[in-house]
Chain A
Amino acid sequence: MKIERLKTDLLIIGGGTAGCYAAITAASNAAGKNAAENRDAGLKILVVEKANIKRSGCLAAGVNALNAYITEGRTPRDYVEYAKKDADGIVREDLLYSISEKFNEVTAHLEKLGLVILKDKDGKYVTRGNRNIKINGENIKPILAAAVAKAPNVQVLNHVNIFDFSVHDNRIDGAFGFGIENDTFYAIEAGAVIIATGGAAGLYRPNNPGFSRHKMWYPPFNTGAGYAMGIRHGAEMTTFEMRFIALRCKDTIAPTGTLAQGVGAKQVNALGEVYETKYGISTSERVYGTVAENLEGRGPCYLRTVGITPEQEESLLKAYLNMAPSQTIRWIENDTPSKANVEIEGTEPYIVGGHTASGYWVDTKRATTIEGLYAAGDVAGGAPQKYVTGALAEGEIAAKSAAEYIESLSALRQAQGTDAPGVNPLGKILEEEVAEHVAEIEKFLNNKNGADTAESLEEAMQAAMDAYAGGIKTGYRYSENQLAVALREIENIESRVSGLHADDLQEVMYIYELKERLTVCKSVIAHLAARHETRWHSFAENTDYPEKDNERFRKYVNSRFENGQIKIILRELTAEGQRNYEHHH
């Protein structure tokens, strides 16, 4: 294995929606500044992506609508209130305000970059409901990737998997990774790092664990790497107990919102009764209602599409081709939606900060509790319902904050008399760190083939989480006794990882992904056990505490990994309308 050492000013880990937009923002900011100061040297930006930024992350297949937009007559405050209500209060208002105020600006920028947005005859965006606008988002990721390619001073390393940070005295000095196909180990030093690796899929046994195990809602390649790296280095994390469960079309796991909002399809049980009004219409209540109807013998449940017009049906088939083509095949191979209602089911739980509030505990600048490390997109906590535009907004905020931090380093370098860009004046990656990581990778390559494989241990982990930490199997419910079993099982699986064998670096990546998921599982279990109430049905359905407890748990449940233990910290909620929440304690 070749060892390559790289230096950059800003390292962006993960080239999805948030990561790409962070790169574009940082580059254009720096270009503007340099022109003004008439300097040649710009901010050096490096994006490292384990796949290829053209089609990586959540938006690989495209997206059908922008779900977070401030439509005419609405205000950012309305959006904050909506997200807050949906999460029953457990949100960071300051973070939600900071993205809501940017939704429309980043949308306009996307349109300028080439995104097709539907307009009426007066040139205004056509809305879908109160917060959505209609687009053709099939090519949204290639559009972002093209903008990154054009941005000055941005280098992209595709097919390089980052698996650890270099942190000294709670300050990040860079990260470690390896090329999946070029047999190279990378030690990358940076002035500041933006983590934008997305959320975690594959913790729980999926709906269809056989051949179609990866036909899931969230990208199966998003393993929670960013969470795991932060957890291990002691970053404070928030709200991992607010799991996200998507209500989807059965089997294809295609979106249901387009049916509900597009053609007004209602949720009905097998008797044809509309049941959503019985349980409420928040995101978690929609899932819970479907679970409850099935448990009580009134399933299967459907979205009522029978009777839609041929024009509506044609538009639906096309809309799904642009985001979830498997549903269109399903309709073409079977009855179309005008002839048969579309069956729905809940997915396995995910940890994802773009939909619920799990992730890094950040301040309004998206600074994490590790100095020099910023978080954006699904990996950042506190701001649910951020969707695409929220991820873009956070990419922008994180990029500007990281650039300011790098600027402050530059001032420090000048004071030291060594103003070379790309050099972190505070610390660097040590030789022994490189040697230790290389040795671990080589150990996996040299281990003998044993009974365990990364695949078999992943299945064991998913089975344990499914049965004992509120998976599909138990209707998403769990008890303290069950969680204790889950933790024991996860720790047992973890103890077997070091003996795994890998044929090549792609298989080494699978081992690191398993380790990442196991780390995240332990935090999820600790958080689920800490919230002694049931605030969100299905998302966190604690059978020991089936009621909501506003007195004790209108709080954030946070955690920090310290001395080998996950320490739980309860923090006070932001006040009504609060724009800033100081997180350094």
Chain B
Amino acid sequence: MSIIIDQGKCIGCRRCHDVCPGTLIKINEKKKAFIKYPKDCWGCTSCIKECPVHAISFFLGEDIGGKGCKVHTEKVKGEKNDIVRWFFELNDGSVKTIDIDPKKSNKY
């Protein structure tokens, strides 16, 4: 379980760095974020939710059954309010999405 930061997309805003509960993300000399301690990631996805340019995705390690799917979220306009869209990029190139309305409670 860890994250991948796409340095091509990273704009160096430091939000992921600021919010990581393990302070695991650092900024390099090119002002791009990178994860310095990938094995220490808890998988809380806080960084992914903070990133304004969707540069961060996360994946399950192969040791816990991961098969290469990369996940990130984007805010999209809903009918009444912004909704959170989760993108699942699978190994075969297909993409699945799940929408979460933050104004609605979980059913369970």
Interface residues, chain A, with chain B CB atoms under 8 Å away: 50-52, 54-57, 60-61, 64-65, 116-118, 126, 128, 134-136, 138-139, 158-159, 180-181, 208, 210-216, 219-221, 251-252, 258, 261-263, 315-319, 321-322, 325-326, 328-330, 332-334, 506
- Cβ of B69: which chain A residues have Cβ within 8 Å of it? 329, 332-333
A258–B106 alpha-carbon span in the complex (Å): 10
Q: Which of B42, B58, B62, B65 contacts A211 (CB 8 A)?
A: B62
Residues of B within 8 A of A61 (CB): 42-46
Contacts of A116 in B (CB 8 A): 102-105
Which B20-45 residues sit within 8 Å CB-CB of chain A? 20-23, 38-45
- Within 8 Å CB of A210, what residues of B? 61, 63
Q: Could you give 9 example pairs across A and B, Cβ below 8 Å?
A: A60-B46, A61-B44, A211-B2, A212-B1, A252-B65, A317-B98, A318-B107, A330-B65, A333-B65
B residues 65-108 with Cβ under 8 Å of A?
65-67, 69, 71, 86, 88, 90, 96, 98, 100, 102-108
- In the docked arrangement, what's the CA distance between A116 and B107, Å? 12
Q: How far is the CA of A212 from the CA of B2 in the complex (A)?
A: 8
| Contact yes or no, B1 A214, CB < 8 A | yes
Complex: chain A residue closest to B107, CB-CB:
A315
- Apart from A252-B64, A315-B108, A318-B98, 12 more pairs, CB < 8 Å: A55-B21, A64-B108, A65-B106, A211-B1, A211-B63, A212-B60, A212-B63, A214-B1, A221-B22, A321-B98, A332-B69, A333-B90
Q: 9 nearest interchain CB pairs?
A: A262-B108, A118-B105, A55-B46, A251-B64, A315-B107, A61-B44, A60-B44, A212-B61, A215-B1
Taking CB atoms, residues of chain A closer than 8 Å to B88 are 329, 332
Is B6 at the interface (CB under 8 A from chain A)? no
For the complex, give the distance between the alpha carbons of A65 and B64 in Å.
Answer: 26
- Chain B, Cβ-Cβ closest to A324: B43
Contact between A263 and B21 (Cβ–Cβ < 8 Å)?
A: no
A322 x B106 contact (CB < 8 A): yes
State which of A56, A213, A262, A325 has its C-beta within 8 Å of the C-beta of B107.
A262
Is B11 an interface residue, CB under 8 A from the partner? no
Q: Size of chain B's interface in residues, with CB distance under 8 A?
A: 42
CA distance A210 to B1 in the complex (A): 10
Q: What residues of chain B lie closer than 8 Å to A212, measured between beta carbons?
A: 1, 39, 60-61, 63-64
B71 interface neighbour in A158, A208, A221, A329, Cβ under 8 Å: A329
Of the candidates B1, B21, B104, B105, the one having the most CB atoms from chain A within 10 angstroms of its own CB is B21
Give Cα A219–Cα B40 distance, bound, in whole angstroms.
Answer: 11
Report chain B residues within 8 Å CB of A329. 59-60, 66, 69, 71, 88
Q: For A506, give the chain B residue with the smallest CB separation.
A: B23
Tell me, in angstroms, the Cα distance from A74 to B19 when the chains sit together. 39
Contacts of A54 in B (CB 8 A): 18-19, 46
Known A118-B106, A215-B1, A322-B106: A51·B21 in contact at CB below 8 Å = yes
> What residues of A have a CB within 8 angstroms of the CB of B98 in the complex?
317-318, 321, 328
**Complex alpha-carbon distance, A64 and B103, angstroms:** 14
The smallest C-beta distance from A574 to any residue of chain B, in angstroms, reads 35
> Are A211 and B61 also in contact (CB < 8 A) when A61-B43, A221-B42 are?
yes
Q: Tell me which residues across on chain B come within 8 A of A55, comparing CB atoms.
A: 19-21, 44, 46
Q: How far is the CB of A318 from chain B (nearest CB, A)?
A: 6
User: Would you give the shortest CB distance from B70 to chain A, in whole angstroms?
Assistant: 9
Tell me which residues across on chain A come within 8 A of B19, comparing CB atoms. Answer: 52, 54-55
Q: How far is the CB of A280 from chain B (nearest CB, A)?
A: 24
